[in-house]
Structure 1
Amino acid sequence: MTLHFVLPDGVDDPRSPSGGNTYDRRAIHALRARGTDVREVAAPGTWPRPDDHARRHLGRALAAIADGAVVLLDGLVACGVPDVVTPHAGRLRLVVLVHLPLADETGLAADVAARLDAAERACLRAVDAVVATSPSAARRLAARHGLERVHVAEPGTDPAPLATGTDGVSRLLCVASLTPRKGHDVLVRALASVADLPWTCAFVGPVREPVDGLISRHGLGSRIEVTGPLAGAALARAYATADLFVLASRAETYGMVVTEALARGVPVVASAVPDALGDGGLLLPPGDAPAFGRALRRWLTDEAWRRDLRARASARRGGLSTWDATAEALAAVPATLRP
């Protein structure tokens, strides 16, 4: 099978790591490994709100693909420009992979969110198939846009050695881009509520929304380290030395960093990641800093509860999915399409 994969230009840029970019790249590798001829189509532009040049480039790229071909489009590219994508419905067999509904990005003005939501609806209703990255995301997407069916292809997780941690308690880790949606402000407030206890925390990820001022106001400058993005051995060391993984996201469709932590047996306290976390840790309501603070206090003071969270993480570690399974799920979608 030949699959044309339209993805944002710069997906491999180490300065801008993201779950969506990682998913796209790993899915391509896994699809090729199972014999799929994946032809990458890079789409330069500021997606999901590109300029006219980027729109024309995408239109030309789609027009150059032969009739009847299967085309998988990253939703960040496709969903904001239905006027560019939908004219090819019927001629091409179009599949859209939604990493995050466009209007769910935190911090959008209400009118911008409404326009993006309407554009996404028009796009997804016109294409042949829609894929989400978790069962809960698929259900929400179907209900939101009135879709009859949304396929699921969950991210995989690479096996990893067990983390050694530090003292087993006090080293906390958050891996996430510093954006409003990831809830670092919630996490800082929660950490401030346990400032009387010993801990340090690393914020690892691209800094798109500075939090230094908030950290300083709470007097936590010596205890929270903002590292910027890490990769390779440096990122592996961050996970290996973590005692607890924390993520205070307001919205996620999956949460791959959670399974990265669980693959190393690191306990997790997080919000908005039910599918990634499973029974592997504590799931909290999004945006609830007091609840997060109470969970951190319990972690830092209750050894029996720490043992329970470690046991949950260990059990979940053994059931994590693989990238081969992701590729299998994606490759199965074209079989459901019209000839």
Structure 2
Amino acid sequence: MRSLRLLVPANIRHNSGGNVYNARLVAGMRALGAEVEVLPVEGSWPESTAKERRRLGTMLGAGEPGEVPGAAVAIVDGLIAMGAPDSLESAAKAGRETWVLVHMPAPANYDLEARSLRAASGVICTSSWAADILEKRHHLRGLRVALPGTDRAPLAEGSVPPHIITVAALLPNKDQVLVVEALAKIRELEWTASLVGAVEADPEYAGRVRAAVAAHGLESRVRITGERKGPALEAEWNRADLSVLVSKAEAFGMVVTESLAHGIPAVVRAGTGAVEALGFAAPGAGKNGRLPGTAVSFQANDAPGNPALLAGVLRDWLQDGGTRVAWRASALETRDRLPGWERPARLVLEAVTTMAGSETRDTEP
């Protein structure tokens, strides 16, 4: 088995879904016997300087033309790749095998993204949603999908009154302000809530979230905890009864399957990859025809969205015992079918060792 090198962005230091996926993927591939080296790449990715792109090219072996027997296969995180198509093109010209691992399609700079993907030996996406977007956007075929795995987790005990949790770094895309505004509209009901996630990633937005909580006088009911890991994060999950992820854009939403692993149903934003996560292990919406939660449609994914829509969903869940029971039952059913991390690790290894990625091409001449 050839050795692998996974190039990851060094500038993403909070506990992002991409970081978690990369770490668990590496652990899974190593458990299957693969030799994997992880290389953090300095730069403000996807933005980068010429010097940083040259350094990346060197890491990819772009300056060493010709076949190198036993050379490692490079897998480049998509956040890096979309900012340095010239480095991938140089690596391709030098005959280096370089794959791109896409967690989230680029929100802009489509031309740079297209160049990077076409220069790659192959493309692996972490969600079907991302693969569909890239295939349609760039007329590509042959993209592989390796959906995230899920770690086994203890069953959450929940709380009285019901506790609502949002687990995500405080960032504009995650739209915690929308969550706070929705909670303010149901303040007459019994509930508590926690916003669990890094506040350092975007201090200005974190300040806006805090201001929204204060403006509605919800300080005693809505906790902003900061990032939590290990036992501290497990304690947050344990007291939760419902999780909410209303990101404006989400490739998959690993926190949704993490929620289901704890037996906690979820509310997600319709039109994002989080819907795939919600039904990940429940094909056909489960044997009872129900998803372990629901997807809320906001008009055109606008910002700040319509908090009344989310408030209506939360109100129904809080007041309708039948809905709570049904969502919880579906979450428990789904929990038992969630795959572990061996599956995506095996899929990635099979892809990069069979050179099937050579099929990544334009669908139009």
- Aligned ranges 1:270-309 → 2 under 5 Å: 270-271=268-269, 272=272, 273-278=274-279, 279-286=291-298, 287-309=305-327
Shift of 1:285: 1.9
Q: TM-score when scaled to structure 2?
A: 0.84
Structure 1 position 192 matched with structure 2 position 190: no
Structure 1 position 319 matched with structure 2 position 337: yes
Residue pair 1:139, 1:150 contacting (<8 A) in 2 also = no
Match of residue 126 from structure 1: 119
Structure 1 position 101 matched with structure 2 position 105: yes
- Aligned ranges 1:120-269 → 2 under 5 Å: 120-167=113-160, 170-207=162-199, 208=202, 209-210=205-206, 211-269=209-267
Match of 1:138, as an amino acid?
A: A
* Matched position secondary structure for 1:165: coil
* Matched position secondary structure for 1:89: helix
Distance in 2, Cα, partners of 1:203 & 1:338? 43
Q: TM-score when scaled to structure 1?
A: 0.91
Shift of 1:289: 2.3
Residue pair 1:93, 1:337 contacting (<8 A) in 2 also = no
Match of residue 70 from structure 1: 73
Distance in 2, Cα, partners of 1:78 & 1:338? 17
Residue pair 1:48, 1:102 contacting (<8 A) in 2 also = no
Please say which of residues 302-311 and 121-130 is displaced more in the overlay. Answer: 121-130
* Matched position secondary structure for 1:233: helix
Shift of 1:331: 0.8
* Matched position secondary structure for 1:77: helix
How many residue pairs match? The answer is 324
* Matched position secondary structure for 2:309: helix
Match of 1:57, as an amino acid?
A: R
Match of 2:183, as an amino acid?
A: L
Shift of 1:149: 2.4
Shift of 1:53: 3.4
Match of 1:177, as an amino acid?
A: A
Match of 2:24, as an amino acid?
A: R
What are the Cα deviations for residues 127-177 of structure 1, in whole angstroms up to 9, with x where unaligned?
12111111122111211121112110011101111100112x521111001
Distance in 1, Cα, partners of 2:358 & 2:262? 42
Shift of 1:221: 2.3
* Matched position secondary structure for 1:159: coil
Shift of 1:318: 1.5
Structure 2 alignment gaps of length 5 or more: 280-290, 299-304, 360-365
Please say which of residues 190-199 and 55-64 is displaced more in the overlay. Answer: 55-64
Match of 1:80, as an amino acid?
A: G
Shift of 1:255: 0.5
Match of 2:347, as an amino acid?
A: A
Tell me the C-alpha RMSD between the 2 structures.
1.8
Structure 1 alignment gaps of length 5 or more: 104-112
Distance in 1, Cα, partners of 2:74 & 2:49? 22
Give aligned-pair identity as a percent: 38
What are the Cα deviations for residues 240-289 of structure 1, in whole angstroms up to 9, with x where unaligned?
11011111111111101111110010121122311110032111125442
Match of residue 109 from structure 1: none
Please say which of residues 145-154 and 62-71 is displaced more in the overlay. Answer: 62-71
Residue pair 1:170, 1:243 contacting (<8 A) in 2 also = yes
Cα distance change of structure 1 residues 87 and 219 upon mapping to structure 2, 3 Å threshold: same
Shift of 1:55: 2.0
Match of residue 110 from structure 2: 117
Cα distance change of structure 1 residues 145 and 234 upon mapping to structure 2, 3 Å threshold: same
Match of residue 330 from structure 1: 348
Structure 1 position 92 matched with structure 2 position 96: yes
